[in-house]
Amino acid sequence: MISTNLKHFQTVKDNSVSKEIFELLYDENLDMLVTSPQPDAANLSRYYESEDYISHTDGKRSLFEKAYHFIKNIALKNKLSLINNLQDKKGALLDIGAGTGDFLSVAKNNGWNAVGIEPSEKARSIANQKGVELKLNTSDFENNSFDIITMWHVLEHVPNLEDQIKELKRLLKPNGSIIIAVPNFKSYDANHYKEFWAAYDVPRHLWHFSKTAIRKLFQKENIELVKILPMKFDSFYVSLLSEKYKTGKMNFIKAFFVGLKSNWKAKRNFEYSSHIYVLKSAKNKNKNT
């Protein structure tokens, strides 16, 4: 359970949409940060209303957006390889926070029975044009419906964190896997950019996780963390956006070297800019995973 005794960690500005100021509070028990105040459900959507929110637009207007989509295409191949290696045969896949449906489209074309959840009407409309099925929520799905459930940079957006983890447990087949990708506030680039670190992305990011936080939060539902993988491209993308927030312009060369240094340091302490977590129900965990 998230502590009610939280300590001030840092003040951060919403640099991309509202320009409002928020506070990051530290939960010592879980080793995670909590955004405060958190927008209520009625107002949360307005913080996503921006053409700069790339995952909802498929925008390729600038060099930055083109670079984002180039890297995304590489990441899609890596994600597909990951889910294929977790299952002996292709089965039912649920992607929560599917955006414009690119990952589901790739998985579907590879033989997966793929469906997604996406609250953004704009993103769903784009996904529909790709032949991808997206729903608003998971309430219509039966228990133990999915072999793989993915949340690519989505868990940090979920208003009720503990309820979401319970729902993941309900939806997962006994031998299935949950894949969670989230930023890591303990990375070098987070420490370097501090309040300008783009992956804080308040108030859209309500929670800011460490490896300890992910392990403890899922452990409460008898879901065990079995593997952690680095997302090495994220340090470059996040550093580039952080440079823009800090200096007002894209410092490509400086961002590249900060991203490179972040990955180099993470080789020793395994604190990458973002991590992919692979989780399984504890009683079904394969010790060789």
CATH of the domain at 210: 3.40.50.150
pLDDT value, residue 4: 80
Q: Convert the pLDDT of each residue in 191-210 to its tens digit.
A: 999 999 999 999 999 999 99
pLDDT value, residue 59: 52
Residues in the chain: 289
Residues 28-49 have a mean pLDDT of 92
Residue 61 lies in a domain: yes
Residue 1 lies in a domain: no
Amino acid at site 103: F
pLDDT value, residue 288: 42
pLDDT value, residue 20: 97
Residue 225 lies in a domain: yes
Order of strands across the sheet with 146-152?
134-135, 113-117, 92-96, 146-152, 172-183, 274-281, 223-230
- Rounded to whole angstroms, the Cα distance separating 138 from 141 reads 6
Q: Residue 248 is part of which domain span?
A: 7-284
> What's the Cα-to-Cα distance from 181 to each of 254, 278, 288, rounded to whole Å?
26, 9, 21
Helix (H, G, I), strand (E, B) or coil at 122: helix
pLDDT value, residue 61: 54
**Lowest-pLDDT choice from 15-19, 38-42, 178-182, 245-249:** 38-42
- Number of folded domains that form the chain: 1
pLDDT band at residue 153, thresholds of 50, 70 and 90? Answer: very high
Residue 2 lies in a domain: no
Contact 228, 277 (CB under 8 A): yes
pLDDT band at residue 248, thresholds of 50, 70 and 90? Answer: very high
Percent of the chain with pLDDT over 70: 90
> What's the Cα-to-Cα distance from 43 to each of 19, 46, 90, 159, 203, rounded to whole Å?
15, 6, 39, 12, 11
Contact 106, 127 (CB under 8 A): no
Q: Where are the alpha helices (DSSP H) in the chain?
A: 41-44, 63-86, 102-109, 121-128, 161-171, 188-193, 211-219, 234-247, 252-269
